[in-house]
Amino acid sequence: MMANLTIGISDLKVCRPPDVLVTYALGSCVGICLLDSVTEVGGLSHIMLPDSTQATNGAATPMRFADTAIPMLVNEMVKLGASRSRLKAKIAGGAVMFATTSDRFNIGERNVAAVKAALRKEGIPIIAEDTGLNYGRTVFFYPQTGIMEIKAAAKGNKQL
């Protein structure tokens, strides 16, 4: 029986079909979907900030940061039977939710850059992305098909 597994902010989950991973309200946060298409093991992480080394409590909340959550997600997927060498990524989010004149405050853009750097460090290619711009997104990830469905009130739905 299929279940929708909800990933909250600063959270991650892994599953096998027929389960579906879903995360709501990605604004400046980034959702990272990983898949081993051979074993159909999928994972989704909802990161809030780019870099744990800049935070006073980074070690206490590793799922909040791109640099610590992505390695955790990979490890959880491997425990479920995924092969690290077959993992592929799809990412969404990283929007600019507030108009600002300072790049320093563009957390969405910094999150996307940090996610890309962390995936590169893990050797995981990004095969699809829907990032940036100025609207929130909800992501449904289907490990059985590898489809990442993005729902955005402002832009409708799309599948990557």
Strands 88-93 and 137-142: unpaired
> Which residue, 105, 93, 107, 111, is CA-closest to 24?
93
Q: Hey, CA dihedral for 62, 39, 115, 128, is it positive or negative?
A: negative
pLDDT of residue 101 exceeding 60, the answer is no
pLDDT at 102: 60
Average pLDDT of the residues in 118-147? 97
Mean pLDDT of the chain: 93
pLDDT at 138: 97
39-74 pLDDT per residue, tens: 999 999 999 999 998 877 656 789 999 999 999 999
Strands 88-93 and 30-36: antiparallel
Buried b / exposed e along 112-149 (16+ C-beta atoms within 10 A): bbbbbebbeeeebeeebbbbeeeebbbbbbbbeebbbb
CATH assignment at residue 18: 3.30.1330.200
pLDDT at 59: 67
pLDDT of residue 103 exceeding 60, the answer is no
- One of 29, 89, 95, 150 is an active-site residue; which one? 29
Angle between helices 66-79 and 107-122 (to 10 degrees): 40
**More confident site: 104 or 123:** 123
pLDDT of residue 104 exceeding 70, the answer is no
Containing structural domain, residue 68: 4-159
State yes or no: is 29 an active-site residue.
Answer: yes
65-92 pLDDT per residue, tens: 999 999 999 999 999 999 999 999 999 9
Q: Which two tokens stand for residue 102?
A: 């300072």
* Domains: count for the chain: 1
Largest CA distance in the chain: 49
Q: Which two tokens stand for residue 106?
A: 């563009």
